Amino acid sequence: MSGSGWYLLIHQLPQKPLYFRARIRELLDKAGALALKNSVYVLPARDHLRARFEAIAQDVTAGGGEAFVCAADFLDEGADERLTAAFRKQRDESYDELAARVGAWTRPRPGRTLELRDGRLRLGLAQARKRLETFVALDYFGAPGRKRAEAALAESEARLREREHTADPRQPWLGRTWVTRRGVQVDRIASAWFIRRFLDPSARFRFVASADEPRRPGEVRFDMAGGDFTHEEDRCTLEALVKRTGVRDAALNRVAQIVHDIDLKDGKFGRPEAPGLEQVLRGLTAAHGEDEARLARGFALFDDLYASFCRQLGKDPKG
């Protein structure tokens, strides 16, 4: 294996069901694999990519197909260069599409007025940033389009900041419906409390069984797969909300640190209040099965916790 430059996945899929074929194609796309033929895909010979191919091969065989993963060198001297160029072209197409999209959001066109205060641009740029990170992770040969996409996204984010720095920071989030998974626990309760207290006092909440439920107009999703706000790097959802909405509040930061310690259990902040609050929240969720009731009790709990930190800091909890 040490002398091989590429891994190949060779497969044969059953004709039906069609969703299974689509699922395998999606897995190959997520791995960044390049199609050599309809049933032959290639990735550079890197250990973690071999594991990706092997996992896909297992899915293929479990679904009634056949799949083989092998290491390969091409005898044609120019094959490696052509494959490398093809991988770069594949990523460049993704980068250029992203750059064009985010550029169009913030560059005025004749007869069109930019409206940045309704939150759609903020959400769109956040989603574009996550999408760019996905493309970068699949950019195995340093496609030049990455710099163009990063520049376009940075420019659009700068335009948004210019517009927002003089505006009410809550404006993009007013009148929205916030959607999360049913059975809310600490991070979702705390995030909903933050939304209601710091972003929109009239915020509405909707609870769904899974992330597969279709999104409705005007909704913002949080603490769920594919959500607009969810865990980012080593931050819980509440921390991500505070950071990305730009709310600056020392007492709030202490609350977020406690929620982090309870939710992620990594001891990052070592907040002494965390065990006690965790026990109270366990009682809250045990006593109240309905999500609305959990939020109502949780809001009062976090209001009191926040007020205690405001008092310590000599700050008025009412603003």
Mean pLDDT of the chain: 90
pLDDT in tens, 64-112: 999 999 999 998 889 999 999 999 999 999 999 999 999 888 765 544 4
For the domain 6-73, what is the CATH code?
Answer: 3.30.70.240
Contact status, residue 193 vs residue 302, Cβ threshold 8 Å: yes
Using alpha carbons only, give the angle 145, 50, 138 rounded to the nearest 5 degrees: 15
Tell me what pLDDT residue 277 has: 97
- DSSP letter assigned to residue 42: E
pLDDT score of 279 more than 50:
yes
Tell me what pLDDT residue 111 has: 44
Q: Token digits for 146?
A: 């990455």
Tell me what pLDDT residue 156 has: 87
Contact status, residue 94 vs residue 136, Cβ threshold 8 Å: no
**What's CA 207's distance to the chain center, in Å?**
19
Report the alpha-carbon distance of residue 201 to residue 196 in Å, rounded. Answer: 5
Report the alpha-carbon distance of residue 58 to residue 286 in Å, rounded. Answer: 40
Q: Token digits for 270?
A: 């070592």
- Which 3 state secondary structure label does DSSP give 319? coil
Residue ranges of domains in the chain:
6-73, 80-164, 171-313
Residue 179's nearest CA partner among 218, 233, 140, 146 is 218
Q: Token digits for 220?
A: 């913002």
Contact status, residue 226 vs residue 212, Cβ threshold 8 Å: no
pLDDT score of 113 more than 60:
no
Phi-psi region of 278 (alpha: psi -120 to 50; beta: other; left: phi over 0): alpha
Contact status, residue 46 vs residue 87, Cβ threshold 8 Å: no
Distances (CA, A) of 257 to 106, 263, 273: 35, 10, 10
pLDDT score of 118 more than 80:
no
- Cis bond before residue 17 (omega within 30° of 0): yes
